[in-house]
Amino acid sequence: MNRPHHQSAWSWWYLLFVIQYVFVLWPPLYNRVEPSLGGIPFFYWYQLLWVIIGAILTAIVYFATEAKHTSAGS
Amino acid sequence: MHDINWIAFAVFVLLFALITWLGFAAANWRKGDLDLLHEWGLGGRRFGTVITWFLIGGDLYTAYTFIAVPALAFGAGAVAFFAVPYTIVIYPILFLVFPRLWHVCHKHGYITAGDFVRGRFGNRWLALAITVTGIIATMPYIALQLVGIQVVVGALGISGTGLASDLPLIIAFVILAAFTYSSGLRAPASIAIVKDILIYITAFAVIIAVPIQLGGFAKIFSAIPESKLLLATPWAQHDWGLQRLCNARARLGSSPLPVSAFADGHPERKRRPRDPPQRCIAAWLFIFARIAGPDWFFCPCRRAGQTSGIRSRL
């Protein structure tokens, strides 16, 4: 395979993405009303919370792979 | 015509005028020779991180976010929330795939997904199939936008029969087509900035103003019938997760998104080509927390309004 090596580099940091897949793609985990938060049922605020957690995980992966990339590439 | 909401109508006309002007003015923005396909279709690949961020945002949060999902939530309840995990799930996929796609397309000068497929697999028919699929897959989406514009025009109180009822729609689409033709991708890119700002305003209104109007989230959610508050059966739950994964993958094929990502270009930063789209996508993830608002609350809010008679105050 004639791939640009710096593009296809695998990083173990990518495994962090798996976490959010598990927690949002298994509805029995959160398909309930209690505990509600400020009048919002669990089902709803749990998903919104995972938007934020997912963003944080993505940021971690981004900065981790970015640092690795620049140190290895330059 | 006597029941026109004049304030809403004035806001609509002003925004429409602004967007029309912006769409045509965009032709001169970062000027390039618009006879060249990559200048027209990808803005000369010179969009920076911020513009790409707006453009991708404008692609992701659309009539689907504002009309289809809230409508489903209003009618069917919790099932419509597939849209939230779906968006959570798609970002990592984009994050991993798009930088590489962008890099390859940038290097070989591909403009569309079809170009990429033809270059990568060397098969014209496969490229044609991908392109035709992209166009066909966009059709229901355009239909949804037409319905959306009709709803907006109807909400302004403008009504008519026959051709007159379709006239605002036809005018809107002719203008849209005209400035896209004359400005290329620069038009949607500049409009995306306005669009994203409007999305923000809507999201904050829905998160802050609407609950205050309707007496808090507890009241809003208590107005939802119990059968629609959560997902119904175990079968539906499992299917739901699978469906979101498939949806997320399907999003990659939808034509506007790759185009936006391809338009990003930083020749001077070629050493770090994976940056721009990746950064944009990461940034959008943060923003999604807020943007999710409309999907979230339109349904319960409207329902609460209807049942308690508060709707008239909205």
DSSP code of residue A14: G
CA distances in angstroms from B194 to B54, B55, B190, B208, B242, listed in the order given: 9, 10, 7, 21, 35
B109-168 residues touching A, CB cutoff 8 A: none
- CB-CB: which of B240, B272, B281 is closest to A27? B240
Residue A21 inside a domain? The answer is: yes
With both helix axes pointing from N to C terminus, report the angle between B186-204 and B6-25 in degrees, rounded to the nearest 10. 150
B286 pLDDT above the threshold of 70: no
Domain extent at residue A23: 16-41
pTM reported for the whole predicted model: 0.65
Candidate ranges A12-21, B18-27, B297-306; pick with highest mean pLDDT: A12-21
pLDDT tens digits along B188-234: 777 878 888 888 888 888 888 888 888 888 888 888 887 777 777 65
Residue B222 inside a domain? The answer is: yes
B33 pLDDT above the threshold of 80: no
Domain extent at residue B85: 27-119+184-313
Burial tier of A51 (Cβ tally within 10 Å: 0-12, 13-18, 19+): buried
Q: Which candidate in B233, B239, B285 is best for mutational testing of the A interface (most A CBs within 10 A)?
A: B285
Residue B295 inside a domain? The answer is: yes
In this complex, do A55 and B285 lie within 8 Å of one another by their Cβ atoms? yes
B300 pLDDT above the threshold of 70: no
B148 pLDDT above the threshold of 70: yes
pLDDT for position B267: 38
Mean pLDDT of chain A: 77
B308 pLDDT above the threshold of 50: no
pLDDT tens digits along B107-137: 887 777 777 888 888 888 888 888 888 888 8
B64: closest CA among B147, B127, B184? B147
Partners of A8 on chain B (C-beta within 8 Å) are 100
Q: What are the beta bridge partners of residue B264? A: B47
Amino acid at the residue B23: G
Strand, helix or coil at A39? Answer: coil
What is the Cα–Cα distance from B94 to B114, expressed in whole angstroms? 18
Between these two residues, B43 and B85, which has the higher pLDDT value?
B85
Q: Is the dihedral of CA B266, B268, B273, B274 positive or negative?
A: negative
Grade residue B255 by pLDDT with cuts at 50, 70 and 90: very low
The answer to whether B299 touches B74, Cβ cutoff 8 Å, is yes
Mean pLDDT of chain B: 70
Residue A46 inside a domain? The answer is: no
- CB-CB: which of B84, B230, B292 is closest to A31? B230
What is the Cα–Cα distance from B186 to B140, expressed in whole angstroms? 24
Residues in chain A, how many? 74
Residue A74 inside a domain? The answer is: no
pLDDT tens digits along A23-54: 888 777 888 788 888 888 888 888 889 888 98
Residue B10 inside a domain? The answer is: no
Average pLDDT rounded to a whole number, residues B9-16: 86
Grade residue B312 by pLDDT with cuts at 50, 70 and 90: very low
Tokens 């992701």, residue?
B60
Grade residue B272 by pLDDT with cuts at 50, 70 and 90: very low
Residue B2 inside a domain? The answer is: no
In this complex, do A25 and B241 lie within 8 Å of one another by their Cβ atoms? yes
pLDDT for position B142: 79
Tokens 């798609």, residue?
B90
B9 touches chain A (CB under 8 A): no
Average pLDDT rounded to a whole number, residues B62-80: 80
What residue of A is the nearest CA neighbor of B285? A55
pLDDT for position B31: 67
pLDDT for position A74: 38
Residue B135 inside a domain? The answer is: no
Grade residue B297 by pLDDT with cuts at 50, 70 and 90: very low
Report the domain count for chain B: 1
Between these two residues, B173 and B27, which has the higher pLDDT value?
B173
Q: Which residues contact A35 (CB under 8 A, 6 or more apart)?
A: A42
Q: Which residues contact B61 (CB under 8 A, 6 or more apart)?
A: B196, B199, B291
pLDDT for position B162: 67
B156 pLDDT above the threshold of 50: yes
Distance from the Cα of residue B118 to its chain's centroid? 27
What residue of A is the nearest CA neighbor of B217? A39
pLDDT for position B295: 34
B78: closest CA among B291, B246, B249, B233? B233
DSSP code of residue A5: T
pLDDT for position B32: 66
Report the domain count for chain A: 1
What residue of A is the nearest CA neighbor of B80? A44
